[in-house]
């Protein structure tokens, strides 16, 4: 029993809301005063509805730790070849693995009342994330899956939140990482 207790304590401390993915970089463009970067789960139509995480923009920089939590059911749908709308995904698209997925998108908002979360009166400004020439896609998967598509697109999703850097050229290059730095969020109004 005395050996089991430390193991249970360690499991409790390392589970729950530990960061599954970290994303950091700069925010440029028309950044409002008191701005926060928020990671929002979107529904099947691409409308943001649940703020999963947010941090203040400090000196034009941000660092998000996306927690390893399951997204709300409203944002989860089966992974299907005809429902993947990421950069560089062109037919024919093949999916291996029967999993559910959700997308996380980045938005900037002015935290007018300083409460550290978005309120309904605070306007969301979508900010498309790029790291160099690569677009950043953040997707949740309920299990392991792989996606292949035209022009060499090949991505492997692991259970949990995944960070995919997708560089589109003659060939589509996909790089996966759990710590993504050098991301630029450009805000346009």
Domain residues for the domain of 154 are 17-187
Q: How far apart, in Å, are the Cα atoms of 12 and each of 3, 4, 9, 70, 126?
A: 15, 12, 5, 17, 36
Residue 3 lies in a domain: no
User: Domains in the chain: how many in total?
Assistant: 1
Question: What is the pTM for the complete model shown?
Answer: 0.88
pLDDT, position 68? 95
pLDDT, position 18? 55
Q: How far apart, in Å, are the Cα atoms of 110 and each of 104, 122, 134?
A: 19, 6, 27
pLDDT, position 19? 67
Digit-coded pLDDT (tens) for 74-133: 999 999 999 999 999 999 999 999 999 999 999 999 999 999 999 999 999 999 999 999
Residue 112 φ/ψ region, left for φ over 0, alpha for ψ in the -120 to 50 degree band, beta for the rest: alpha
Per-residue pLDDT for 31 more than 70?
A: yes
pLDDT, position 20? 85
């Amino acid at each position: 029993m005395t050996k089991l207790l430390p193991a249970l304590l360690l499991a409790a401390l390392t589970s729950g809301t530990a960061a599954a993915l970290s994303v950091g970089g700069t925010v440029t463009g028309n950044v409002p005063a008191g701005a926060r970067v928020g990671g929002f789960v979107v529904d099947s139509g691409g409308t943001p509805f649940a703020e999963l995480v947010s941090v203040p923009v400090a000196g034009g920089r941000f660092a998000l730790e996306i927690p390893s939590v399951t997204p709300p059911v409203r944002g989860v749908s089966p992974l299907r070849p005809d429902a993947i709308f990421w950069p560089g995904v062109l037919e024919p698209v093949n999916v291996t693995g029967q999993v559910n997925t959700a997308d996380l998108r980045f938005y900037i908002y002015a935290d007018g009342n300083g409460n550290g979360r978005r309120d309904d009166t605070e306007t969301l400004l979508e900010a498309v994330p790029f790291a160099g020439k690569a677009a950043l896609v953040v997707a949740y998967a309920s299990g392991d899956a792989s996606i292949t598509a035209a022009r060499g697109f090949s991505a492997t999703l692991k259970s949990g939140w995944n960070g995919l850097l997708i560089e589109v050229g003659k060939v589509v290059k996909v790089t996966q990482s759990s710590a993504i730095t050098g991301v630029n969020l450009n805000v346009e109004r």
